[in-house]
Amino acid sequence: MIILPSQITHEEAAACCRMLAQGLRSQTEAAVVADAGGLERFDSSALAVLLEIRREAAALGKTLSISRMPARLRELATLYGVAQLLPAAP
């Protein structure tokens, strides 16, 4: 499991991507879960970060699902048409 920080806005997006990608590479499981439960302050950059981590996971032969995604972020994902790319963790 990788854990998202409490804040992902435009200012933190690049550093957050690097941090999460590093965490993703250290995961031995083929199915990786990103825990978004602590995410409190975010903008659409959080979606960009999650999509980039999803691409990184796919390049590593892994899948990514999201647990505890805030409702507002799920609404943004739906609005931008990317919700199906960020499935909820089982």
| pTM score | 0.93
Report the side by side order of strands in the sheet with 31-35. 2-3, 31-35, 63-67
Task: Give the chain's domains with CATH numbers.
Answer: 2-85 (3.30.750.24)
Residues of the chain with pLDDT under 70: none
For position 8, what pLDDT does the model report? 97
With residue 23 as reference, give the H or E element that holds it: helix 13-25
pLDDT given for residue 79 in this prediction: 97
- pLDDT score, position 5: 96
Q: Which of 82, 78, 16 is nearest to 53 (CA)?
A: 16
Distance CA 41, CA 18 (A): 19
